[in-house]
Chain A
Amino acid sequence: MRVWRQTLRALLSHWRRHPVQFFSVLTGLWLATSLLTGVEALNSQARDSYARASQMIGGEPQASLSTPNGALFPQRWFIELRREGWPVSPVLQGRLTLKGHEDQRVQLMGIEPVSLPADSAVAGQAMAIERIVEFFTPPGNTWISPETLRLLGLREGDTPPTVGGHRLPPLLVQKDMAPGLLLVDIGVAQALLEQPEQLSRLLLPKEFHQALPASFKDRLQLKSSGEENNLARLTESFHLNLDALGFLSFVVGLFIVHAAIGLALEQRRGLLRTLRACGVSARMLVACLVVELGVLALIGGLFGVISGYWLASVLLPDVAASLRGLYGAEVAGQLRLSPVWWFSGIGLSLLGALLAGANSLLRAARLPLLAVADPQAWHQQYTRWLRRQGWLATGLLVIALAALIWGNSLSSGFVLMAGLLLGAALALPVLLSALLTPLLGRSRSVLGQWFLADCRQQLPALSLALMALLLALAANIGAGSMTAGFRQTFNDWLGQRLSAELYINPTNPAQAREMHRWLKQQPNVTAVLPNWEVSVTLQGWPADVFGIIDHPHYRQHWPLLDNSGGDPWGKLATDDAVMLSEQLARRLKLKAGDHLSIATPNGTWSPRIVGIYADYGNPKGHVLISSDHLLRGWPQLTPNRFNLRIDPAQIPALLTALQTRFELDDSRIIDQARLKGWSVQVFERTFAATAALNSLTLAVAGVALFISLLTQSQSRLGQLAPLWALGVTRKQLMLLNLGQTWLLAVLTLLLALPLGIALAWCLDAVINVQAFGWRLPLRVFPLQLLQLMGLALLATLLASAWPLYSLYRTQPADLLRTFAHED
């Protein structure tokens, strides 16, 4: 114990004398843990919300019955099915706006607890008889999650009014309620949503399997429990992308730790030898170094998880908005994290520290006891290490190439990216050394030779920071090009696709039929394009089938990525033909000319695919068929939307007439500008978290460079003092140093450009295809690249400012001391 204590004391005393290094290690661990745990917190929060939503009723996802196009249906169908012995339980779900909270989106769900399948739990609570009675006996209860209650600024027992003039039953907090959802008795829900005698779906026990009675075959369709719970599956790619960014930041953070620990070991070589000479065994020395690293990891990890929590809470609104906009998933706006998350954050820091410090520990264990404590040993070993690093980089690049050629999954896409990024990062010092060597040979001036030779000598100390800079820059170029390219492609696509001026959603089938007739009679409307919609499952993937009429509008405004030749729109109208969205075609591994099998109430239909089109941002599959074919399969369907072509000047008059005739509320009439605005907003918020994480990664790389320069500046006096003695002023020394840092940074930036563009291509053509199903054209934005280069140079300047200032302030006495200590 005494040896432990004394050895640890001696080791730890190093940090007291080198506080910058101490903070480098802590900063690296802190940043690495912070970004990754932040992303994990976001993902865990979202997944917790999905789980709570999917387990809202029953503890297990239920099977359910609903209309093919998701429209409401009469309550008497429930009674009829109960009479036929079906154990169904009614649910009505809809959007509700509370007075004073017009900007908040709240879902209202009405259930009938008495008919719920046996042993069902609601929001994690067993529905005992007294709770059931309390729930539906006037005034009843409104179950609400604590987060939603807080978000709305309400208190338990409140009876908030709706914009429709109704009042909710008293609010009752249930901790396992899904966020953004209010649960009431079905009768109350029908009154609040002003949908008397209407239902959204009928719940069935999970294990219930029976064919629908003939009279319901066309009216309702059975959805199995798996289909009901596809949120987690749909959002998987979104979370995987966040994970990937988090891990990238983690790796960049570990580069800092690795650099700082490596340098600390080099500076402590003498100390380690003295300790060994004084009788500390190698095993004990390594054990003490591990303990020291563990303590540092614990401190860094603790700071990391605290700031990760903060980061997640800052990014959560954007992530929640993206998930809501893209997938309709409600995510609680307030973080609710389990102790496991906190411990895993600390665990990550420990693991990261061990990974980053493994090499140093190994070197400490193998430290030859009798070799002279030579601070230059590191440099001497560097050439050998550089050769090994070159081979390792080549190996990783070969793995990336193999993943590109033979891989066909999201995982192989990430292997490709990881191989490419890490391979390029490891190759960086080799390339920099290879670039500097011929330059050195050509330099004629003495100072120029020193400049390049010293620059090359700095590589071992700076290479890890430069690698981190390369990774962060490439990630920024890649993600930035992808995002900007996607934005442009998406806007072009929206401009073409959203060409109708108005989009009208009728309230119910009867209104749809009447509205269709009425719209066709309106002289101002140049085209009425009705949409019929039915939800199906194709090879396990949810998809919406849209029935459209044959109209020139589609030929002009619905661009196709691929078609089977001839006149695809003509074939769609007349033949047994369909068109598919790109992501669905990729998911089902189908192309134009193939046949697709769709289960209809009349049996399986196998039309030919005549066209593939882009459908960005839609996680569900999208299928276009002729309305004639759709209505042959689902004859009871009525149009669920009318897209209208109309002279914009005539819109106000039509809207007035529509509202007078059909009493439609604003939510059912959407004009083109609003829809485009909403779509663009969803897009921007989707990438807001990505952009924030990207900027943070660049900031981490800047910190890595700063720390490396600062740490290195303390040991550079030995190289600079002879120049000073030979007549180079301190100002000149400072400028030479700045020039060296910039030269290395500029060379790194030049190498980051092709790497970033290659990464953008991987994201556009591999990751997007595997994660979302769409492929984007590679677009390069020179202005964006120039901006990023400028930013990186500014970061380099800022990172080198303090070390340079310290050098400038170095007193002649300090420079003289380096000579005094020469042996």
Chain B
Amino acid sequence: MLEVRDVFKSYATPQGLLPVLQGVDLTLGAGGSLALMGESGSGKSTLLHLIAGLDKVDSGSIRSGKHRLESMNEAQLANWRRTEIGLVFQQFNLIGSLRVEDNLAFQARLAGRHDSRWQAHLVQRLGLGDLLTRYPEQLSGGQQQRVALGRALASQPKLLLADEPTGSLDEATSDDVLRLLLELLDDTPTTLLMVTHSQRVAARLAQRVVLSNGRLA
């Protein structure tokens, strides 16, 4: 269960404080999936970063089970990301110097949850069997995003946060990646929170919310 309560966040700019989130409330049940939509600059990615523990709220609270993110220190937040969260970015953010198979296992190994059978299952489901010894730069965009998905799910996180995961892919590849993601989520109790612009993508998820001017519409 993820609970976001009355979250405020603003950033300092040369023109003064820029309020990005202005009292956001959100609840997402375990195993559920939610599409977070909104225009550019509406605060979607900011909210995602706050939930991932990549940034801290100005006020309000973010809770998941026994975890209260607003009261965690840097090391605790790092541990939260390592053990509870899977992150998928629009730009894939793979480790260019590691082979595909090492990229896949990377976070699971960091979290101490590396499971060869689960990884083999992911490899098979994601169709990465022939690509394991390649480096990320030798893959297409769709293949890289599949590796990024695999890496995020390999550690069996409680919460998968995806920031425009299909944003840099063409329509067919995007559909393919999304299908794989949702199929894999069926096999796990992982909760999905996805930031997306696409109505078509959002329609595939159980819940949809729209963020506008820092508030949920």
Is B168 among interface residues, defined by CB-CB distance under 8 A?
Answer: yes
B residues 3-51 touching A (CB-CB < 8 Å): 49
Q: Which residue of B lies closest to A372 (CB)?
A: B91
- Give the most central of B83, B87, B168: most A CB within 10 Å: B87
For B109, the chain A residues whose CB sits under 8 A away are: 2, 6
Q: Is the CB–CB distance between B97 and A3 below 8 Å? A: no
Given A282-B74, A370-B54, A2 contacting B81 (CB threshold 8 A): no
Q: What CA separation (Å) do A273 and B97 show in the bound complex?
A: 14
Q: Is the CB–CB distance between B106 and A278 below 8 Å? A: yes
Q: Is the CB–CB distance between B97 and A16 below 8 Å? A: yes
Q: Which residue of A lies closest to B86 (CB)?
A: A278
Given A10-B97, A823-B168, A277 contacting B54 (CB threshold 8 A): yes
Q: Which residue of B lies closest to A7 (CB)?
A: B110
22 contacts between A and B (CB under 8 A): A3-B110, A6-B110, A10-B95, A10-B97, A10-B106, A17-B96, A17-B97, A270-B93, A271-B95, A276-B54, A277-B52, A279-B81, A279-B82, A279-B107, A280-B78, A281-B74, A282-B74, A283-B75, A284-B78, A370-B49, A821-B137, A823-B168
Is B189 among interface residues, defined by CB-CB distance under 8 A?
Answer: no
Q: Mark B199-217, 1 if CB is under 8 A from A, else 0.
A: 0000000000000000000
Q: Is the CB–CB distance between B74 and A273 below 8 Å? A: no
Q: Which residue of B lies closest to A369 (CB)?
A: B54
Size of the B side of the interface (Cβ < 8 Å), in residues, is 32
Q: What CA separation (Å) do A284 and B137 show in the bound complex?
A: 27
Given A6-B109, A6-B110, A823-B168, A279 contacting B83 (CB threshold 8 A): yes
Q: Is the CB–CB distance between B87 and A278 below 8 Å? A: yes
CB distance from B20 to the nearest CB of A (A): 12
Q: What CA separation (Å) do A3 and B110 show in the bound complex?
A: 5
Q: Is the CB–CB distance between A13 and B80 below 8 Å? A: no
Q: Which residue of B lies closest to A18 (CB)?
A: B97
Q: Is the CB–CB distance between B168 and A273 below 8 Å? A: no
Q: Is the CB–CB distance between A2 and B78 below 8 Å? A: no
Q: Is the CB–CB distance between A2 and B112 below 8 Å? A: yes
Known contacts A13-B98, A274-B94; can you find 8 more A-B pairs with CB under 8 A?
A2-B109, A7-B110, A17-B135, A279-B79, A282-B78, A370-B55, A823-B91, A823-B168
- Give the most central of B82, B87, B97: most A CB within 10 Å: B97
Is A14 among interface residues, defined by CB-CB distance under 8 A?
Answer: yes
Is B111 among interface residues, defined by CB-CB distance under 8 A?
Answer: yes
Which one of A2, A10, A283, A370 lies within 8 Å of B74 (CB-CB)?
A283
Per DSSP, chain A at the interface is: helix
Q: What CA separation (Å) do A733 and B74 show in the bound complex?
A: 48
CB distance from A815 to the nearest CB of B (A): 15
Chain A positions near chain B (C-beta within 8 angstroms): 2-3, 6-7, 9-10, 13-14, 16-18, 270-271, 273-274, 276-284, 369-370, 373, 821, 823
Chain B positions near chain A (C-beta within 8 angstroms): 49, 52, 54-55, 74-75, 78-83, 85, 87, 89, 91, 93-98, 102, 106-107, 109-112, 135, 137, 168
For A373, the chain B residues whose CB sits under 8 A away are: 91, 93
Q: What CA separation (Å) do A630 and B123 show in the bound complex?
A: 100
Q: Is the CB–CB distance between B97 and A271 below 8 Å? A: yes
Q: Is the CB–CB distance between A281 and B75 below 8 Å? A: yes
Q: How many A-B residue pairs have CB under 8 A?
A: 79
- Give the most central of A276, A277, A281: most B CB within 10 Å: A277
Given A279-B107, A283-B75, A3 contacting B82 (CB threshold 8 A): yes
For A278, the chain B residues whose CB sits under 8 A away are: 81-82, 87, 106-107, 110
Given A17-B97, A274-B95, A370-B54, A280 contacting B82 (CB threshold 8 A): yes
For B87, the chain A residues whose CB sits under 8 A away are: 277-278
Q: What CA separation (Å) do A270 and B78 show in the bound complex?
A: 17
For B98, the chain A residues whose CB sits under 8 A away are: 10, 13
CB distance from B75 to the nearest CB of A (A): 5
Q: Which residue of B lies closest to A5 (CB)?
A: B109
CB distance from A753 to the nearest CB of B (A): 43
For A14, the chain B residues whose CB sits under 8 A away are: 97
Q: Which residue of B lies closest to A2 (CB)?
A: B112
CB distance from B142 to the nearest CB of A (A): 14
Q: What CA separation (Å) do A273 and B79 show in the bound complex?
A: 15
CB distance from A179 to the nearest CB of B (A): 53
Q: What CA separation (Å) do A282 and B74 show in the bound complex?
A: 8
Q: Is the CB–CB distance between A13 and B78 below 8 Å? A: no
CB distance from A777 to the nearest CB of B (A): 58
Q: Is the CB–CB distance between A274 and B93 below 8 Å? A: yes
Q: Which residue of A lies closest to B97 (CB)?
A: A13
For B79, the chain A residues whose CB sits under 8 A away are: 279, 281
CB distance from A270 to the nearest CB of B (A): 7
Q: Which residue of A lies closest to B45 (CB)?
A: A370
Given A276-B78, A280-B82, A6 contacting B106 (CB threshold 8 A): yes
Q: Which residue of B lies closest to A280 (CB)?
A: B78
For A18, the chain B residues whose CB sits under 8 A away are: 97
- Give the most central of B82, B87, B135: most A CB within 10 Å: B82
CB distance from B195 to the nearest CB of A (A): 14
For B135, the chain A residues whose CB sits under 8 A away are: 17
For A280, the chain B residues whose CB sits under 8 A away are: 78, 82, 110
Q: What CA separation (Å) do A2 and B80 show in the bound complex?
A: 16
Q: What CA separation (Å) do A280 and B89 show in the bound complex?
A: 17
For A9, the chain B residues whose CB sits under 8 A away are: 102
Q: What CA separation (Å) do A13 and B87 show in the bound complex?
A: 22
CB distance from B39 to the nearest CB of A (A): 19
Q: What CA separation (Å) do A13 and B103 show in the bound complex?
A: 11
Q: Which residue of A lies closest to B46 (CB)?
A: A370
Q: Is the CB–CB distance between B110 and A279 below 8 Å? A: yes
CB distance from A607 to the nearest CB of B (A): 77
- Give the most central of A16, A270, A274, A276: most B CB within 10 Å: A274
Q: What CA separation (Å) do A9 and B81 show in the bound complex?
A: 19
CB distance from B185 to the nearest CB of A (A): 20
CB distance from B153 to the nearest CB of A (A): 13
Q: What CA separation (Å) do A13 and B97 show in the bound complex?
A: 5
Given A271-B95, A274-B93, A279 contacting B111 (CB threshold 8 A): yes
Q: What CA separation (Å) do A10 and B94 show in the bound complex?
A: 11
Q: What CA separation (Å) do A150 and B11 show in the bound complex?
A: 76
